[in-house]
Structure 1
Amino acid sequence: MVNPTINDVARIANTSKSTVSRFLNGYTVKKETEEALKLAIQSLNYHPNVNARRLVKNHTQSIGIVVDDIANNFYSGIYRGIENVANLNGYQCTYYSRTSNYQGEFGFMDLAQERQVDGLILISFLKRSNELIKRIEELMTPVVLIGDTNSNDTIFSVDVDNELGISEVVRYLHRLGHEKIGYITGPDEFSATHWRRKGYEGALEDLGIKQNPSWIIASDWSESGGHKAMKELLDMNEITAVIASNDEMAIGALLCANELGYRVPSDISVVGFDDIPVAKWVYPPLTSVKQPFVEMGEKAAIGLIEKLNGEEIGTQSNRVLIKPNLVVRQSCRGL
């Protein structure tokens, strides 16, 4: 079967080859022409010759997506959001995975310097080093970050508003009558740990609730870590609610409470963060904060493509924080 050509697209759309070429290369055409071209491309199942376009434009029409662990389930929504935008704009996505360390992202600076990709989206929720941020600033190739920026405000970046997410959980529990609220925090090497704890402490202060440092237990994101931390909190016999800074620790906390004879939520309320799929299937179904992963990917891809097109990014700040959503289930009760 012969592959359709640009001439076939022009014939079906009743326009010229040059107009088709302009449209495929990102230039604006009349609205009715654009619609006719999209229909023609879809009906013919036409795909541009990427190698030919690369030679003409000195572009790869490819975006490099660099992740610390490509198998991480948290990233699947981000991938989907990036690809939604990239495909609409004629870009292919190429994925690169490295173990969770700073050198992993350093290694992919070469992709940009050697022009193997037109731009990079770096995804990591680990804290990024000053040295890495400086290297990114020096690159000629556009780069967008998802996750930590080390407080840099010159590189376009996208993240969930972790501080707001936990703050809203505290306020929700307060509306239910809780003031003795324990908190299970995550590992220090993750930027979310800092911002989520800040949300917890800031909300308590805003609400005029006295803070007790012994009600904050450090853990490691795991179910076993949440189980251990919950036992410490319950041994104090003071708190009425617990916020775990991720769902796996919250599930460990639920298991611990059940094993020790506490009923959730009758005796103690529990909230998580992330809204992983299993959160709604545990008993009782877990109240959690849902992260907007697809929207994060879309915002990052839009920002990168605007950079590639030489446009001003359509936000007032280079740091875009997307509001998460509190998903209320049956793991909390009013006092």
Structure 2
Amino acid sequence: MARTRKSVTIRDVAEDAGVSLQTVSRVVNDGPNVRPHMRDKVRASIERLGYVPSLAAQRMSGSKSYIILALNDRERTLADWRERQGTDWVDQMLLGGILKCSEHGYRMIVELVDTRSEHVERELDAAIAALQPDGVVLTPPHSENALITSLLARRGIPFARIGSKEEGPGVPLTMGDEGAAYDATKRLIELGHTQIGIIAGPREYSLSEWRVEGWRRAMADHGLNSEGLKERGDFSYESGTTATRALLDRNPRLTALIGSSDQMTLAALEVTRDRGLHVPRDFSLISFDNTPIVRFSQPPLTAIDQPIAETVSKAVEHLITQRKDAVPGDVIDVPARLEERASIGPAPRAA
């Protein structure tokens, strides 16, 4: 009877390869003191038998846990899940992280931590004690929370900081926010728009300011004034409604708008419609995020697609391999891209 994948043990591999259990363990855990031909022999047996090493066994065999921990903001994540509004940040994070972890025989676990809580250190300590991760991926706003980054540094746990350029420990990664905002603004200028507003995100996220900087720089590079064309929201639909109304009230000649989240931009679409403006004939809209929901709005929104999966994948790769060519303080920037849909068009001619 053929042996099933589930029944294969490390002892089966050792017998098939004609080596000791210790040799198989060293190969599985990428340990030292195994001659190349013996390593190849064991790997061939693993492949032939379909052996999958037990995570518990791997952890017992050495100092590694084979776990990468990703921390996400509790309040915002739970709100997104409960409201079911089409956000897919966590999905994309898992896509990039899980696939990269699996390449190296690791597992990724996501924990939700309230970055505003006075108990954040206690929560993080509990997660670290329970999981003993080999590395931690911090997402905004955790990536710039000094309590969290200093705790990980003191524990000697490698970590990656997504959405952060700050100096200090950890590997900083960004997702092309400033460049994407610049390109989006430039595209609208190419279409003849000169009055281009922006709804910025909350200040606690550095990426909110990077997007503003990209928009403002593009306006200046093309000789356009950006004064009075910015409002701020908190990434929510409600804040987008308030911000869009304020911008249109203050700037009747506004013909285009960039929103720092899909929810805020969807709100802008509704506000413009309420005011009798047709998108894109009278008004053009570009969003950040490119979550699934924007493909089904009417019209579908042009959006900056954030490379979440690719960025988390790169973060995990650095944590697992501890790359020797990495220069401390160097920021890894993963470019975003603009996906054009039906929400942008030529600027309307002045009456």
Structure-1 separation of matches of 2:313 and 2:197: 35
What's the TM-score once normalised by structure 1's chain length? 0.86
For residues 118-137 of structure 1, the aligned pairs below 5 Å read: 118-125=134-141, 128-137=144-153
Give the equivalent residue in structure 1 for 2:226.
211
Contact kept? 2:68, 2:137, Cα under 8 Å: yes
> Are 2:143 and 1:138 equivalent residues in the alignment?
no
How far did residue 178 of structure 1 move?
Answer: 1.2
Structure-2 separation of matches of 1:201 and 1:145: 26
Contact kept? 2:248, 2:254, Cα under 8 Å: yes
For residues 154-165 of structure 1, the aligned pairs below 5 Å read: 154-165=169-180
Contact kept? 1:303, 1:313, Cα under 8 Å: no
Give the equivalent residue in structure 1 for 2:245.
231
How far did residue 233 of structure 1 move?
Answer: 2.3
Structure-1 separation of matches of 2:242 and 2:42: 60
Q: Deviations over 1:10-61 (max 9, x none)?
A: 455x463455333311259899987876665456442323334333313222
SS in 1 for 2:144: coil
> Are 2:18 and 1:8 equivalent residues in the alignment?
no
Contact kept? 1:287, 1:331, Cα under 8 Å: yes
Structure-1 separation of matches of 2:329 and 2:18: 41
1:220 alignment partner AA: D
Contact kept? 1:153, 1:319, Cα under 8 Å: no
Structure-1 separation of matches of 2:329 and 2:319: 14
Structure-1 separation of matches of 2:226 and 2:205: 23
> Are 2:340 and 1:328 equivalent residues in the alignment?
yes
SS in 1 for 2:257: strand
Task: Say if 1:209 and 1:256 are closer, same or farther in 2 by CA, change over 3 A.
Answer: same
Gap runs ≥5 in structure 2: 81-87
Contact kept? 2:281, 2:346, Cα under 8 Å: no
SS in 2 for 1:305: helix
Structure-2 separation of matches of 1:204 and 1:298: 33
For residues 17-96 of structure 1, the aligned pairs below 5 Å read: 17=20, 20-27=24-31, 40-41=45-46, 44-69=49-74, 71=78, 73-96=88-111
What's the TM-score once normalised by structure 2's chain length? 0.82
Q: Deviations over 1:57-108 (max 9, x none)?
A: 1322222222223655312111221111111212122332123426565331
Structure-1 separation of matches of 2:120 and 2:176: 23
1:174 alignment partner AA: I
Structure-2 separation of matches of 1:84 and 1:185: 32
CA RMSD of aligned residues (A): 2.9
Structure-2 separation of matches of 1:104 and 1:243: 36
Contact kept? 2:143, 2:149, Cα under 8 Å: no
Contact kept? 1:122, 1:144, Cα under 8 Å: yes
How far did residue 195 of structure 1 move?
Answer: 1.2
For residues 183-332 of structure 1, the aligned pairs below 5 Å read: 183-212=198-227, 214-235=228-249, 236-307=251-322, 311-314=323-326, 318-332=330-344
How far did residue 170 of structure 1 move?
Answer: 0.6
1:148 alignment partner AA: S
How far did residue 109 of structure 1 move?
Answer: 4.2
Question: Which has the larger displacement, 163-172 or 214-223?
Answer: 214-223
How far did residue 113 of structure 1 move?
Answer: 6.7
Contact kept? 2:68, 2:316, Cα under 8 Å: no
Structure-1 separation of matches of 2:39 and 2:339: 41
How many residue pairs get aligned? The number is: 329
1:328 alignment partner AA: E
Give the equivalent residue in structure 2 for 1:171.
186
Structure-1 separation of matches of 2:342 and 2:241: 19
How far did residue 203 of structure 1 move?
Answer: 1.6
Q: Deviations over 1:215-263 (max 9, x none)?
A: 1112221222222222222233111111111111111111111111110
Contact kept? 1:113, 1:139, Cα under 8 Å: no
2:65 alignment partner AA: T
How far did residue 290 of structure 1 move?
Answer: 0.2
Task: Say if 1:317 and 1:284 are closer, same or farther in 2 by CA, change over 3 A.
Answer: same
1:219 alignment partner AA: G
